[in-house]
Amino acid sequence: MFKKYRNLWIALGVLILLCPLGLLATGTAFGEWGMDELSERVGYIPAGVQQFAEVWSYALLPDYSIPGLADTFFHAAGGYIFSALLGTGLVAGIMILLGRRVKE
């Protein structure tokens, strides 16, 4: 299966390695605003956003950082890459399991 999608995996790997480029930009990424930033930008907090913010308050890697590492560019870049690898692995694993389930 991995040979069949070899080019896709290579492209995904390149994107994962390039994801720390976002650290060079100022401000926050589009759509990743906290409640306070959303309130500033829009003028209010939508009810659905407020409702789900209370339900989901835990993040595995808050701000894409690895807890315990120093706050340097290279440690932050490592956190971004690790977050991308973790997310890609979780999504790929779920898709592989679902694909096997459908074949049965």
Could you state, in order of their start, the residue ranges of all structural domains in the chain? 6-103
Give dist(CA 103, CA 99) in Å, integer: 6
How would you label 7-22 residue by residue, b for 16+ Cβ within 10 Å and e otherwise? eeeeeeeeebeebbee
Predicted local distance difference test score (pLDDT) of residue 17: 94
* Regions in the chain scoring below 50 on pLDDT: none
Predicted local distance difference test score (pLDDT) of residue 32: 80
Whole-model pTM: value is 0.74
Predicted local distance difference test score (pLDDT) of residue 93: 93
pLDDT tens track for 41-63 = 889 988 888 888 777 777 778 77
Give dist(CA 74, CA 66) in Å, integer: 12
Predicted local distance difference test score (pLDDT) of residue 84: 93
**Up-side HSE of residue 96: CA atoms within 13 Å toward CB?**
9
